[in-house]
Structure 1
Amino acid sequence: MRDLSEMSFHPDMEKIVDILCEKTQNSNRLFFRVLTSFQFSMMASQMRVMIRTHDRGVIPVNMYALNLATSGAGKGFSTNILENEVTHHFRTTFLDSFDTVAEVELEKIVFKRQARDPDKDPETIKAQVYKEYEMLGKYIYSFDSGTSPALKQMRQKLLMANAGSMNLIIDEIGSNLLGNQEVLTTCLELFDVGAVREKLIKNTAENVRIEEIIGRTPTNVMLFGTPDKLLDGGKIEDELNSMLETGYARRCFFSYSKESKKEITMTPLERYKMMTSKVTSGFLESYSQKLGRLADMSNMHKVLTMDEDTAVGLIQYQMDCERIANELPEHESQRKAELTHRYFKALKVAGAYAFVDDSDELTMDHLEYGIKLAEASGEAFQMLLSRDRPYVKLAKYLANVGIDCTHPDLMEDLSFYKGSASQRNEMIVNATAWGYKNNIIIKKSFTDGVEFLSGEALKPTDLTKMVISYTANGDMTTGYVNDHGAWEQLPKVLHRKGLHWLNHHVQGGYRNEENAIPGFNMIVLDIDGTMSLKAAKALLEDYKAIYYTTKSHTDEINRFRVILPTNFTLKMDAKEYKEFMKNVMASLPFVVDESCSHRCKKWLSHDAHIESVDGELFDVLPFIPKTQKNEERQKRLQDQSSLDNWERWILNNSGDGNRNKMLHRYAMSLVDNGFQLETILGKVKELNSKMPDKLDELELTSTIMVTVSKALTAA
């Protein structure tokens, strides 16, 4: 058996799939492969085609499938093409001859009953048999719903006719799943060999229990639908999970597509010619004629054989699947079940391919066609299992909808946003947590007592495209040029004399708040003598930053600016930016000029002392207004109200493994700001006592304070 990468799909199926992709302008080939293979399997099942295996006897050819695609993917159109242009000749021929085949089988039943009861009038027995058969109703080629008793009644008719199969095709499965639980449960039993246990009913004059016929009736199930309707995060999705858990995972082929990709590069004329191609029509007509000939009664009850190499290849594939399944963790029970039984599905669909090829043997090629489809189905099943959970869908929706939403808005627009208020709040909490890990922020606000939710997908900062605008005009207001510059080139801008610059772009080159364009990826902090430059660098040493002195900077009174690139590009209006910057400034270990909270705050470049420091980008998430992280940060600040900013900074940036480092940094910043040894010792001890897992006092005096003492002596 060849490697999977060298295997191919069934060639005639691929030609049909090409046509379906062209006709529907949908490039989701797996959807059409599963659909076409299902039609092949239905035809083989109608003719009662069997596969003689080397290890488990004779098994029927049949197929179950869950075929999901978005609305507009061409489900109905492609099904009509297959039924009306590909399999229609087979269907007509089969239905025309069904009663003829059944009559032969009914005569056999009459003969058996006569042999069992020779004293009974032969004509009476024959009349009873034919009456039983007629009372079971007309044979239906395929049906879209039913009940378990009706399914078993049709099964009895097929057992008497010894021909045909039961074909359940449910469209819009998301809307119809709950109403068909009973029939789907019965189909669960019928997959393997077409057998199901009968229900014991009371025998009465009005409800006569008919004689049981031991036999097999192949069954096919196709479940169509859109993912959103089926995966609603509620009762329908729960029922689907239950179905998969109880056996449909191992029985079904899967196709799962979350979007429909249409071909839009063609001209209208090109599309018209492709969709009306005579070559396409000619192939479909020729192939449908070929399939029609397969409905000849000489093909009824065909038994496909396998040679030893094919049988060994099947076992090899089975063992490969089992090996992979054994490596999966126990909680992935659905994946394990699907993988373990994947070989069986591949074998059955391989039988369908052999039938449409009019072959008496299931060859290695047919098996490889089946394996190729089964593996593609397995990938789709994995996508289905790893689908977005409801809270993920909520986060993505809020990030993309572009407007503030109320709870009623969400309940109306999102099928999965249901349940009690506590359940919805839990979903919002989970969506918020997921968003933080996936660059989406969710904000809450209240207007007249009504809660609004909004979201934004954050774009990671590109250090080669820092947002900046600048002008050399003396009025400091006009002539601003919007630009994106590399972070490494920023010091050159800061060195130029007489250049005024902003960390936002402005419309029309005119600097005022109304013209500021939302979007920034660096913040600027103006420190006017409230902290020494050396101490500030020590406290912020973990961050990537540029430090540069102002014109009024002196050795005695340090005046400087700190430019910090942010980890995300944020878009904020004037009010939100001001609140954001105030949040940032409130968390810093030194006082920052309040004017930094304005989007159109401008700074002047000059021949300054500039230092660039490498490190991590400044994390903006805890400071974005109306977010859960900001609320948590504000609550933490309230709990730390007895501490000054300096102490809070050290405490909030300390954790396992870096407490000594942060206390050392705190002590040295006190040295840099002119404090004496006794004062420093007292402050360090006091801050250490407020830490959740404080350091031993001996460690303080033998490490941190020794360094402090040496620094003070050297000064």
Structure 2
Amino acid sequence: MSLPDLSTIDHHPAIQEIVDVLCTKTQNLDRGFFQAEVAYFLGKIASLMRAVVMTKDRGEIPVNIYSLALATSGFGKGHSVHVVEDEFLKGFKSRFMEETFPVLAEQQLWNIANNRAARNGTDQQEEYDKTAKEFKQCGAFLFTFDSGSPEGVKQTRQKLLRSACGSINLQIDEIGSNLVGSTDLLTLFLELYDQGIVKQKLIKNSSDNQRVEELDGKTPANMLLFGTPAKLFDGGATEDQFYSFLETGYARRCIFGYGHRDKILKELTAAEVYAKLTEKSTDQVVTKWQHHFYTLADPSLHGWKMEVSESVSITLLDYKLTCERTAEDMPEHEEIQKAEISHRYSKALKLAGAYAFIDGSTEVMLEHLLAAIKLVEESGQAFQKILTREKNYVKLAKFVASVGHEVTHADIHEKMPFYPKSSGPRNDMMMLATSWGYVNNVIVKKSFRDGIEFFKGETLEETDLEKIIISYSDHWAYNYMPEQAPFDKLHILTQHEGYHWANHHFKSGHRAEENVIAGFNMIVIDVDGGASLNQAHELMKEYKFLTYTTKRHSEEENRFRLMLPINYKLDLDQDEYKEFMNNIMDWLPFATDESANQRAKKWESYAGGDFHYNLEGDTLDVLKFIPKTSRNELYKKSNQELGSLDNLERWFAGRIASGNRNNQMIKYALALVDSGWELTAVRDQVHAFNKKLSDSMTEQEIDSTIMVTVAKRYQKVA
């Protein structure tokens, strides 16, 4: 049979109702953390009473749960754990520790004594006294512990084997701070998960340290690890150890939860919060489950067995095959994810057993299994969030971009404790932050002053072509009206008689450098004789642009204005804008008026000129031109390697380096033709340019291909 739609399946009532209470008491709506937490406690109850699932294909499966739950600081992690322990489980713990465990332990000690006496032909009382002494020497049974050693756990196992009751229950708060110190303990718990079996360590036998007789048996183990993701994912040893544990088995063993504090009930008033915290329905739920859990500590329920019917087993097998097929389709490098997905069925079976025990059922019903599968699938979603959590270098990039001013290494380390102190790892992280920003609209600028490295970042806003930043006035200096206009309507302004305009806004409408409001998304270039209008149109056709001719334009000497929308809105100060525009003008394939590098520069409209749009091209990508960025440094370095070339040669040399050499050489030659060069001069210039290239063509190849195309252009013109 195929699995039903899980969205139509309800969580087990214990999960649903207890999580409701925890959400109310912590004032958090995010249920993922609490579900993983409550699942652990339900498994803990069942395993303390040694509940087992009886399957026909896998034998006896002890009920036990491992949970890893993470949430941001202030979420209410510790508070919720205390609520479950002190309110819901209080009666169960008291009855189990004071009545059930002592009674069952006493019975088991006599069973062991009788078996030994029969085997050895000794007195039953003597064997009992000896067994009772061994039991006492193992120390007091701890209902829960938060730290320990492998030796301590193995000693506790000996006590539990002599009592045939109870389980080993580890709860570690602030797992990020305690993970590395608990490595040996957590390694042992990897072995305990499946059947509660672990190999004994051989110790030297002496009069002071005598080995006791080892008993065979199972001691189920439960584990709850919880804390903040920031401590766990520190970018160092803790994070490495955590991933190591996931790889070696915790990914397949744990139920995962991930809580977000941003879902806190912020809209409630203090009075409303108080009313929710004290409402009677919450107390009724606590009382209901507190009493129910108390009844589950009855000694008569010890060793509870739950059968799995054939139909439920087939449903579980169907889920197992579905999980395995999903894992097989994943890339090989996602080993941790594959392990978690392919073993979800095992976690679901153990959790279904816990549900059945809570219900007092002698059979794992289909509704138990489906409710468990639902929670395990949500656990898988939480696991993906944990693995795809925000990397430290992403946090670094966002911090630098959002802080609003320049920061030093010391400033960053004060705000971002994970930031490395040593220069090597620190530079690596900053490089990763810069690289991440490169593809996520975040730029990180770097500069030096007095030997100190400064960083400044900015989150870039993509340009909306319907909102190009301009300001205009009928006066050359005052009353500039700020506007955001559609790019394809800018000709209305440029062709209007008597207007001055700029590509920035100004405070109080007064056009002056000190009044410039940083922020532009279009660049404007004056071309006064550096190229013909047709040549500029041909060279720039891969980009969106608008050109219009100025008053001094003539057929003999083309003078026009080139307006290019850019892909991002940039907020640059006076010096940065000047350097940025200089980079743009160095990049362009023709000479331009250098005064375009002033933020407060204005241009005039001209009603008597012509305008031309190219709306089919791409918006100009300006990231490599932004000063003090890694991309700009790479761009300048590549330009230095082309230092002997003029603007037009650099333009085509960069394109030739990307491939399609012959086609680019033809375009270069035709650009010279459009500039009015004679045929022989074009031939000489093409050959000279070719010699400057590392991957040059032969002279015969140029004459037989490039120059033939050029000659045809002259014939067509004639």
- Could you say whether these structures have the same fold, taking a TM-score greater than 0.5 normalized by the shorter chain as the test? yes
Match of 1:291 among 285, 293, 297: 293
Say yes or no: does 1:468 pair with 2:470. Answer: yes
> Residue type matched to 2:174 in 1?
E
Partner of 1:550: 550
Q: Which moved more, 1:545-554 or 1:478-487?
A: 478-487
Q: Distance in 1 between matches of 2:273 and 2:701?
A: 79
Quickly say closer, same or farther: Cα 1:177–1:497, change in 2 above 3 A. Answer: same
Query: What whole-Å deviation, never above 9, does each CA across 1:272-296 have from its counterpart, x for those lacking one?
Result: 2222211111122122211211111
Q: Does 1:101 align with 2:104?
A: yes
Q: Residue 621 of structure 1 corresponds to which residue in structure 2?
A: 623
Give the length in aligned residue pairs: 712
Q: Residue 192 of structure 1 aligns to a residue in which SS? A: coil
Select 2:668's aligned residue among 659, 666, 674. 666
Q: CA deviation at 1:209?
A: 0.4
Amino acid aligned to 2:587: S
Distance in 2 (alpha carbons) for counterparts of 1:686 and 1:265 = 73
In the alignment, structure 1 residue 116 sits paired with structure 2 residue 119:
yes
Single out whichever of 93-102 and 306-315 deviates more from structure 2.
93-102
2:530 match:
530
The secondary structure found in structure 2 opposite 1:305 is strand
**Deviation (angstroms), 1:567:** 0.8
Say whether the 8 Å CA contact 2:105–2:165 is kept in structure 1.
yes
Question: For the residues of structure 2 that align with 1:696 and 1:285, how far apart are their CA atoms?
Answer: 92
Which of 41, 57, 60 is 1:55 aligned to? 57
1:271 CA drift (Å): 2.0
Change (3 A) 1:421 1:152: same
Q: Does 1:413 align with 2:412?
A: no
Query: Which residue number in structure 1 is paired with residue 219 of structure 2?
Result: 217
SS in 1 for 2:490: helix
Give the TM-score of the pair, scaled to structure 1. 0.97
CA–CA distance in 2 between the matches of 1:19 and 1:506?
Answer: 56
CA 1:555–1:514: 2 relative to 1, 3 Å: same
Q: Give the residue type in structure 1 aligned to 2:486.
A: A
Counterparts of 1:294 and 1:346, CA distance in 2: 22
SS in 1 for 2:198: coil
Counterpart residue identity of residue 568, structure 1 = Y
Aligned residues of 2:28 and 2:261 also touching (Cα < 8 A):
no
CA distance in structure 1 between the partners assigned to 2:25 and 2:480 by the alignment = 54
The Cα shift of 1:330 comes to 2.0
Kept after mapping to 2: 8 A contact 1:139/1:154? yes
Q: Secondary structure at the match of 2:662?
A: helix
1:96 CA displacement: 1.7
Residue 469 of structure 2 aligns to a residue whose secondary structure is: strand
Give the Cα separation in 2 of the matches to 1:206 and 1:177.
Answer: 33
Please say if 1:612 is aligned against 2:613: yes
> In the alignment, which residue of structure 2 is the partner of 1:73?
75
Is contact 1:70–1:260 with CA below 8 Å preserved after alignment? no
User: Do structure 1's residue 565 and structure 2's residue 565 form an aligned pair?
Assistant: yes
d(CA) in 2 for partners of 1:19 and 1:124?
52
Structure 2 distance, partners of 1:498, 1:262, is 58
Instruction: Give the corresponding residue for 1:641.
Output: 643
Q: Give the Cα–Cα distance (whole angstroms) in 2 for the partners of residues 152 and 321 of structure 1.
A: 34
Partners of 1:69 and 1:260 within 8 A in 2: no
What is the Cα-based RMSD across aligned positions, in Å?
1.7
Which residue number corresponds to residue 228 of structure 2? 226
The amino acid of 2:641's aligned partner reads D
Question: CA-to-partner distance for each residue in 1:411-470, whole Å, 9 max, x for gaps?
Answer: 343343226422322222222222211111111111111011222211111112111112
Alpha carbons 2:258, 2:386 under 8 Å: kept: yes
Show CA shifts across 1:686-714 (max 9, x none): 32343444456555434432332222231
Question: Residue 364 of structure 2: SS of its match in structure 1?
Answer: coil
* Higher mean C-alpha displacement, 323-332 vs 140-149: 323-332
Q: Which amino acid counterpart does residue 609 of structure 1 have in structure 2?
A: D
Q: Which residue of 1 aligns with 2:336?
A: 334
What is the letter of the counterpart of residue 373 of structure 1? Answer: L
- Equivalent residue, structure 2, for 1:137: 139
The CA distance in 1 between the partners of 2:642 and 2:658, in whole Å, is 20
Letter in 2 for 1:511: R
The residue aligned with 2:485 is 485
Offset at residue 406 of structure 1 (A) = 1.8
Candidates 262, 277, 280, aligned match of 2:279: 277
Aligned twin of 2:169 = 167
Q: CA 1:604–1:646 in structure 2 vs 1: closer, same or farther (change >3 Å)?
A: same
Question: Does structure 2 retain, via aligned residues, the 8 Å contact 1:465–1:487?
Answer: yes
Deviates more, 1:59-68 or 1:189-198: 59-68
Deviation at 1:656, TM superposition (A): 4.2
The gaps in structure 2 that reach 5 residues or longer are: none
- When residues 376 and 692 of structure 1 are mapped into structure 2, their CA distance, relative to the original with a 3 A threshold, is farther
CA distance in 1, matches of 2:181, 2:465: 56
Cα pair 1:72 1:260 within 8 Å, conserved: no
Query: Which one-letter code corresponds to 1:110 in the other structure?
Result: A
TM-fit CA distance, 1:660: 3.0
* In structure 1, C-alpha distance between the alignment counterparts of 2:366 and 2:533, rounded to whole Å: 76
Q: What is the Cα deviation at residue 388 of structure 1?
A: 3.6
1:40-439 correspondence to structure 2 within 5 Å:
40-97=42-99, 98-118=101-121, 120-257=122-259, 260-418=262-420, 420-439=422-441
**SS, match of residue 653 in structure 1:** helix
The residue number in structure 2 matching 1:688 is: 690
Residue 151 of structure 1 aligns to a residue whose secondary structure is: helix
Q: What secondary structure, in the 3-state scheme, does the structure 2 residue paired with 1:349 have?
A: helix
Aligned-pair distance for 1:115?
A: 0.8
Q: Is the 8 A contact 2:32 2:259 kept in 1?
A: no
Report the TM-score, using the length of structure 2 for normalisation: 0.96
**2: distance between equivalents of 1:433 and 1:694?**
34
Residue pair 1:395, 1:431 contacting (<8 A) in 2 also:
yes
* C-alpha contact 1:471 1:479 (8 A) present in aligned 2: yes
Change (3 A) 1:275 1:486: farther
Amino acid at match of 1:309: S
The answer to whether the 8 Å contact 1:496/1:605 transfers is: yes
Whole-angstrom CA distance in 1 between matches of 2:85 and 2:496: 75
Deviation, structure 1 residue 18:
2.2
| Match in the other structure for 1:704 | 706
Q: Would you say the 8 A contact 2:580–2:627 is kept in 1?
A: yes
Question: 2:352 is matched by which residue type in structure 1?
Answer: A
Q: Point out where structure 1 has 5 or more consecutive residues left out of the alignment.
A: none
Residue 509 (str. 1) matches residue 520 (str. 2): no
1:445 corresponds, among 436, 444, 447, to 447
Q: Distance in 1 between matches of 2:419 and 2:540?
A: 43
Distance 1:83 1:322 in 2: 36
Secondary structure of residue in 2 paired with 1:562: strand
Larger displacement relative to structure 2 (19-28 or 57-66): 19-28
Q: Is the 8 A contact 1:461 1:569 kept in 2?
A: yes
Structure 2 Cα separation of the partners of residues 275 and 503 of structure 1: 57
Contact kept? 2:114, 2:127, Cα under 8 Å: no
Change in CA separation of 1:518 and 1:208 when aligned onto 2, cut-off 3 Å:
same
Say if 1:499 and 1:604, in contact at 8 Å, map to a contact too.
yes
Contact 2:499 2:604 in 1 (8 A): yes
The alignment status of 1:3 with 2:5, answered yes or no, reads: yes
- Tell me which amino acid in the other structure corresponds to 1:433: S
1:609-665 per-residue CA deviation (whole Å, 9 max, x = no partner) reads: 111102111111111111111111112222212111111111123344433332222
1:216 match: secondary structure: coil
**Comparing 39-48 and 280-289, the one that deviates more:** 280-289
Tell me if 1:496 matches 2:499: no
Q: Which moved more, 1:342-351 or 1:391-400?
A: 391-400
Q: Matches of 1:108 and 1:603 in 2, distance apart? A: 101
> What secondary structure, in the 3-state scheme, does the structure 2 residue paired with 1:563 have?
strand
Residues of 2 paired with 1:271 and 1:704: CA distance?
80
- Per the TM alignment, residue 304 of structure 1 is displaced from its structure 2 partner at its CA by 0.8
